Amino acid sequence: MRVMIWGGDGYLGWPTAMYLARAGHEVVAVDSYLKRDLVCATGAEPLVPVPPLAERARLFRAAGDAEIRVEITDLREPEAAHRLLREYQPEAVVHYAEQPSAPYSMRGEDEARLTLLNNLGVTFNLIQAVLHHAPDCAIVKLGTMGEYGTPNIAIEEGWLTVTHEGRSETFLYPRQASSLYHTTKILDTDLLWFYVRSAGLRVTDLMQGPVYGFDAGVSDDARLLTAFHYDELFGTVLNRFLVQALAGHPLTVYGRGEQRRGYLDLRDTLACVSLALAHPPPRGEMRIYNQFTEIFSVNELAARVISAARTLRMEATVAHEPNPRFEAEEHFYEVRHRALLELGLQPHLLTEEVLVGMLERLRPHAARVRPELFRPRVRWGRPRS
């Protein structure tokens, strides 16, 4: 299958490119380098330096793997989107090309505007380019479980059938998020759903939970590792905890730590995207899958990291930080996530063995850790009025 990956340089994009190329697909990895720019501007370097995308593709090929074609172009430009779809005529596009950080989106007005205009603008450009040049092309879009927020009823898989005064209707599950970043993902879903219905687009929207993992399981070459972040902006919570444990720094739990979310292993993200590509909807249909494997509270994650660290004779502790975020710290959380399992997903669960393995893989890089990146500086808890 000819697959184009938008955002092919990112934490998920690059491993996806390798994984799909290894699986025999023709892969084109496209990126604006937006996240590299933001990483430079904020000083939030990844744990291990990441070669340019073309260099990574060259190394992958040199090691005997398939070619990954690379395009560095600004996907916010309509013409770039049109050219890509016209030239490559992909059968599917995996769309990761979004500003991916909730705290970054809440850092200030400029960062919020960039997040809004980039995420909506790129999604819109993709929709238009697909409709013009490759209307049968399937879109696999990375959404987020954060779109749903933490409602007081069970979170169904994308849709909710409501019975009201004896009549019933099935709606997009109502969404309300707790950062501007997550809100842009809601807007993406609304936009895609409109063009699915009105113009016959084929979309799979993956509501993904926070991902953890360092090694995608595709290559042993350290230069082909994904961009691994552990800072307050781009580091997801479990990755940050692992690096904090390595650095002998307390695990920074925000608030009471009873925030519950659905998590998954980086390797499972690759499998889920691959399953979505293998089961595209017909034209005019949107499929929505809740993409995670296990639910944990932040406190539970911290306890598991502490236990795994102890196995390696590292002494890890917890420090509760005032919660910088706007979120409920204790809440109901029951979430359906059957569809990907029914398609054949075989989860990598968060066992002690997995955690110990991640710590061991990260350990050689411990000297590069910059503990000053741990501290949350972006605060968007609800101000008192």
What residues are labeled active site?
A: 144, 181, 185
Please name the helix (run of DSSP H) or strand (run of DSSP E) that holds residue 39, with its range, or none. Answer: helix 34-42
Least distance from a second copy to the Cβ atom of residue 312, Å: 40
Given 44, 139, 180, 309, the residue binding a second copy (CB under 8 A): 180
Per-residue binding string, a second copy, 329-368, x by CB under 8 A, is: ---x------------------------------------
The minimum distance between CB 359 and a second copy, in angstroms, equals 35
How many C-beta atoms lie closer than 10 Å to residue 63's C-beta? 12
**Minimum distance of a second copy from residue 106's CB (angstroms):** 8
Please report whether residue 313 would count as binding a second copy according to CB under 8 A. no
Of the pair 73, 128, the CB lying nearest a second copy is at 128
Pick the closer one to a second copy by CB: 177 or 308.
Answer: 177
Question: Does residue number 322 form part of the binding site for a second copy (CB under 8 A)?
Answer: no
Long-range contacts of 171-175 (CB under 8 A, 24+ apart): 173/148, 175/147, 175/148, 175/149
Task: Round to whole Å and give the CA distance between 93 and 109.
Answer: 31
Q: How far is the CB of 326 from a second copy (least distance, A)?
A: 5
Write out the two tokens for 236: 């997801």
- Alpha carbon 117 to its chain centroid, in Å, reads 19
Which one-letter amino acid corresponds to residue 32? S
Give the range of 28-36, 48-56, 184-192, 214-222 binding a second copy by CB under 8 A.
Answer: 184-192
DSSP one-letter string for 130-155: HHHH-TT-EEEEEEEGGGT---SS-B
- Contact call for residue 176 and a second copy (CB under 8 A): yes
Q: Is 217 in the site for a second copy (CB under 8 A)?
A: no
User: What count of Cα atoms within 13 Å lies in the side-chain half-sphere of residue 194?
Assistant: 9
Residue labelled with tokens 């603008």: 121
Scanning 173-181, 230-238, 291-299, 304-312 for contacts with a second copy by CB under 8 A, the matching segment is 173-181
Footprint of a second copy on 52-81 (CB under 8 A): 78
Q: Of the listed pieces 29-37, 223-231, 278-286, 349-357, which binds a second copy according to CB under 8 A?
A: 278-286
Distances (CA, A) of 60 to 24, 94, 327, 367: 14, 20, 41, 26
Structure-token match 């972006």, residue found: 378
- Binding window for a second copy (CB under 8 A); candidates: 95-103, 112-120, 205-213, 343-351: 112-120
- Tokens found for residue 92: 């599917």
Instruction: Give residues 122-141 in contact with a second copy (rule: CB under 8 A).
Output: 124, 128, 132, 135
CB of 107 to a second copy, least distance (A): 13
* Shortest distance in whole angstroms from residue 349 CB to a second copy: 26
Q: Which stretch binds a second copy (CB under 8 A): 91-99, 161-169, 298-306, 310-318?
A: 161-169
* Rounded Cα gap, residues 42 and 33, in angstroms: 14
Distances (CA, A) of 370 to 9, 28, 245, 302, 375: 23, 34, 13, 20, 11
CA–CA gap between residue 357 and residue 268 (Å, rounded): 16
Residues within the interface to a second copy (CB under 8 A): 78, 109, 112-113, 116-117, 120-121, 124, 128, 132, 135, 151-154, 160, 162-165, 167-169, 171-172, 174-180, 183, 186-187, 190-191, 193-194, 197-200, 282-284, 326, 332, 380, 382-383, 385
